[in-house]
Structure 1
Amino acid sequence: MGETPCSLAASLFVEDIDYRVMAKGFLGKHSLDAGFGQFRELLKWVCWKRGKFFAQVDHKGTSKQCPECGTEWDNNLSIRWHTCDECGYSNHIMSLQRK
């Protein structure tokens, strides 16, 4: 399961999310049953085995930062296309989350 992401990239970054906090929300126990934490540990192990870089990043603000210059903006989910005011970088919001 973790083989595909590790074979497609030289380095992997995942959000450092505390799934126990998510379990207290409306999804409740379902979020713990899904095994997200186990998948993160599996990715970490596969990256180590293949000599790939793996890091956990702070989950705050990751989807509202320009991938080119690092400028942050107010995240408005109704806007699907983003153009950076600082450097002019422009892309669909889902592409920004993958960078």
Structure 2
Amino acid sequence: MTPFLTMLGMWAVTWASRYLGLSLGGLNLPPFWLAFLRFVPISVFAALVVPDIASAPDAVRRALAAVLAGLLMWRTRQLAVGILGGFGGYWVLRWLGIG
């Protein structure tokens, strides 16, 4: 398969899934599914981040920064504050030589 056909197929799948999701916006789902769908974004984020933290040579430093980021996001309910705090905590820990 050529790269162009691969990209075209990826575009088609992405477009179709987004179109389907947007067209179902007015659909009334049962409370169970609404509660279930609330946790999908954080689950996907955790699935992307945790393996990188656990397999890094500086895993302790990254884990401490991730805990700091999680606490900041939980306390402020602001994603940007958590991300910036996590990055800042990581660099401070690195500068201090911890982890």
Q: TM-score, normalised by structure 1?
A: 0.25
Q: Which is greater in Rg? A: 2
Greater fraction strand: 1
Greater fraction helix: 2
Q: TM-score, normalised by structure 2?
A: 0.25
- Identify the structure with bigger relative contact order (alpha carbons < 8 Å, sequence gap 6+): 1
